């Protein structure tokens, strides 16, 4: 299983005027002579399923929720078939546990993955709704404590077939 903790600042100091951020190295993806690993960006998956574990400041949960709602609206308004397919497999889950250490855990559960496609909200907004980039970036930047990417592979189904 590969994971990566991404920068709290979402790697963009000034979204409106800055090119896409450099992609940090991904732990556990070094290529071997027998089977080279596919190249993978920090918000991409090479597996069929994946998740992001996102820790959000409890007092900023409403801002994070609003940013996710806006992203959903942008997906819904899009006519891009690839983005529609990406959205169809993406669920945003929020922990119902009482916040600990002033933080709430969210999950982006993605089944089935749009491979070689970024799940970075700012990249998606930059493409589909540029006017939303700066306000959503500010909401996310102020709310997120950390993001961990987890590629997933189904091991077995406990209920049978």
List, in order of start, the domains of the chain with CATH numbers. 3-7+42-152 (3.30.70)
* 66-122 confidence digits (pLDDT tens): 999 999 999 999 999 999 999 999 999 999 998 878 999 999 999 989 988 999 999
Among candidate residues 52, 20, 40, 51, the one with its CA nearest the CA of residue 123: 20
* 3-54 confidence digits (pLDDT tens): 444 443 444 333 333 334 443 333 334 444 455 666 788 999 988 999 999 9
Give the CA distances from residue 89 to residues 5, 77, 84, 111, 149, in Å, rounded to whole numbers and listed in that order.
22, 17, 9, 5, 16
Full-model pTM: 0.75
């Amino acid at each position: 299983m590969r994971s990566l903790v991404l920068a709290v600042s979402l790697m963009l100091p000034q979204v409106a005027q800055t090119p896409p951020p450099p992609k940090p190295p991904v732990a556990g993806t070094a290529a071997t002579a027998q089977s080279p690993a596919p190249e993978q960006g920090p918000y991409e998956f090479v597996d069929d399923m994946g998740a992001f574990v996102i820790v959000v400041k409890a007092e900023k949960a409403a801002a994070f929720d609003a940013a996710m709602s806006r992203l959903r609206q942008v997906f819904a308004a899009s006519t891009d078939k690839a983005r529609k397919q990406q959205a169809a497999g993406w669920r945003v889950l929020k922990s119902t546990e009482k916040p600990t250490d002033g933080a709430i855990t969210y999950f982006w559960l993605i089944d089935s993955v749009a491979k070689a496609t970024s799940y970075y909200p700012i990249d998606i907004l930059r493409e589909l709704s540029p006017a939303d980039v700066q306000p959503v970036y500010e909401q996310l930047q102020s709310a997120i404590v950390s993001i961990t990417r987890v590629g997933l592979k189904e091991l077995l189904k406990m209920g049978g077939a």
